[in-house]
Chain A
């Protein structure tokens, strides 16, 4: 089977922008969570937002209009290309494919377009907005901007979207449909996301110490919303070596499943058992149910015990929904490549979530990421250290 390697990562998130900044933020335990205007003027709430972002820093050409998700996607692509040491005009870029995912897509443009109709009537909607309101607008814009005419797939698969997008990219390379893929996902904060999740009782409430996301903690009472985009460069190994690319890690497998035991089934697809020392980058975000189910699945996979370390980035960067999976993946690359240890502590562990936390002295050879949607779908990805990996 063709081997698939990662040769570049481009994260733009509330905790860091670009490979080094993102990994350093995870190492330092930096949090991106801060105050946010909810739009209803009632109270100050928390979210992990990308601040001081200027899309023109990342654009090759000026644009008349871009949704916030499209802006993030352009930034992630620009960062990923630079990280993979590729020029936008390279033939290798044009012959590549694209596979992205999102949960809610260009929500702010959908809202802008439709609220004009509500407030002013159908004759005063802005036609230019509508083509920018499709779930797949950002991936289309990337194809156009960079001339990427190859394999093209877009997931709107909820919180598993970017993990599923990476899985399809890996499969497309394995099948030989394409040698190189840009894969990942995007999500942008919008006040109605917070309002809606709030009404559904999913968002963290202030229990005396401000709203926090506390994965696996017995005091957890919900998640804090995040946003951002991430793109990774995936290549068939021989093609990566032919262009002297820096190999960061190898993707050894993916698994996807649905239902009450979907997490465990997805994990078993990538690795039959949890081997001692494997890291897991989980999706735990501080929600009562989701965290417990994740911990249970990991324990079953580990044959009753935690066999390695578990890390949950949503504690710092918020619940990034459809983009969560690619951020987990980029975090995983950092661990494999540089033996980075992300500090993560559960202050008051929930006995129902008995996971172990990162510790020193692990020689990490394998990292598994697990993304789960509240609707029942799970996708796992497995990364292994490549013998050709070059630590930078």
Chain B
């Protein structure tokens, strides 16, 4: 990288916290607090009825004025973005200096919930074309651009459950190309009927709990939420005197090129994406102090991810403390990578790694230092965060202390 890319703002809305600090405290407690019977839609006849619904989300009235009351996915994203931009003091120290803000979001399902009537059959005569807009995933990014006066690139990606991490990688690219001075990189997804019925059909969900790397694990549980990070060139952050939380030292994106739904043998794509990120960061494997794993709690993911970490880090692998936050917060879909990157930054800040919830009987086939029980304390200077998604896409980011 020519110039360093830094992270200056964080924002999150999750089933375990309506902002970053609340979410972080819950992650450090490491209890499976996200999961409850879904109330947003009728789950009768559905195979699964417990998920990571956010029970008490109150959207900001200004956001409702822009997005309407029913576009939950966009409202979650706008809430996380607001927190990140406020923390980074963008309005006070960026917008006023004529700096160009860009927006790069990423999602699995965007605002599809608004368009369910269109997808379900013939919409009632009064159903507006604007509800159909929910199928153009660009919508939430446009709302944010309007709210925050973005003038740079405003885009939305869709890379399944690698989405949140991919948005950060894409933001780094655009900053290097000079298209913007700062970019809000976000991942988001809401629990909608469309998403829930589809994800249930994939047969990757557990009815009981997400138990990453535990030998009893039997699937993941999907959650809703949003995560946002403000990333900018170091010179921009300096110029506007913004607090630098972390340095984004490496990013990578790839695909297993193997199968639409099954993980690659021995995590081959995950191996390559971690190696690519290390290469870009100019780091040796031994320089990574902690890994925030994808760790979904499905039988194949946790095994192949363990194998991939062993392949990349060799004898150092067993010395790296590793966590997956999905036992606590669930699988946040498009937001997963964003919130995991946020957790990685906070591990750098606080010297604490959140424990893997529900990891009581470690799988002998996943024999690495997965953090159990209490948060792990220490000085962590460099953290790698991994994501993967349906279709075989993978993404990795590496963050370091400023």
Contact = CB atoms under 8 A, between A and B. Distances in A.
A256 B179 contact: yes
Interface stretch (A151-159, A244-252, A340-348, A361-369): A151-159
A45 interface: no
B281 to A, nearest CB: 13
B151 A257 contact: yes
A199 B128 contact: yes
B122 interface: yes
Interface string A136-164: 11011101101111111111111010001
B259 interface: yes
A115 B121 contact: yes
Interface stretch (A127-135, A285-293, A303-311, A381-389): A127-135
Nearest to B253: A152
A86 interface: no
A117 B194 CA distance: 9
A392 to B, nearest CB: 31
B79 interface: no
A384 to B, nearest CB: 18
Contacts of B364: none
B138 A104 contact: no
Interface in B115-166: 116, 118-123, 127-130, 132, 135-139, 141-142, 145-146, 149-160, 166
B249 interface: no
Nearest to A164: B155
Contacts of B87: none
B142 A376 contact: yes
In this complex, which of B146, B151, B158, B176 has the most chain A Cβ atoms within 10 angstroms of its Cβ? B158
Interface string A169-209: 00110110100000000000000100111111110000000
Contacts of B202: 127, 130-131
A259 B174 contact: no
Interface string A15-49: 00000000000000000000000001000000000
A279 interface: no
A125 B200 CA distance: 11
Contact of A153 (B149, B253, B256, B268): B253
Interface in B345-387: none
Nearest to B395: A152
A377 B135 contact: no
Contact of A265 (B151, B173, B259, B276): B151
A55 interface: no
Contact of A130 (B127, B152, B201): B201
Interface residues of B, number: 76
A356 interface: no
Given A114-B119, A197-B129, A137 B179 contact: no
A192 B118 contact: yes
A137 B260 contact: yes
Given A137-B391, A144-B260, A155 B255 contact: no
Given A122-B197, A258-B152, A196 B159 contact: no
Contact of A149 (B152, B166, B254): B254
B74 to A, nearest CB: 12
Contacts of B130: 200
B194 A171 contact: no
A174 B179 CA distance: 14
B260 A196 contact: no
B158 A125 contact: no
Contacts of A200: 128-130, 132
Contact of A136 (B132, B154, B261, B391): B391
A149 B166 CA distance: 15
Given A107-B135, A376-B146, A134 B392 contact: no
In this complex, which of B121, B199, B203, B269 has the most chain A Cβ atoms within 10 angstroms of its Cβ? B121
A134 B390 contact: yes
A148 B255 contact: yes
B290 to A, nearest CB: 25
B151 A136 contact: no
Nearest to B46: A122
Given A122-B45, A122-B197, A157-B138, A117 B120 contact: yes
Contact of B136 (A158, A254, A255): A158
B159 A136 contact: yes
A157 B152 CA distance: 14
12 contacts: A104-B136, A110-B112, A110-B135, A130-B202, A131-B390, A140-B393, A143-B256, A143-B257, A149-B272, A256-B154, A375-B139, A375-B142
Given A144-B259, A196-B132, A200-B132, 20 more contacts: A114-B116, A117-B193, A131-B260, A131-B261, A135-B110, A135-B137, A140-B390, A140-B391, A149-B256, A152-B393, A158-B136, A158-B138, A171-B173, A174-B177, A199-B127, A199-B128, A258-B103, A258-B150, A377-B153, A377-B155
Nearest first, the 4 A-B pairs at minimum CB distance are A140-B391, A200-B129, A256-B153, A196-B132
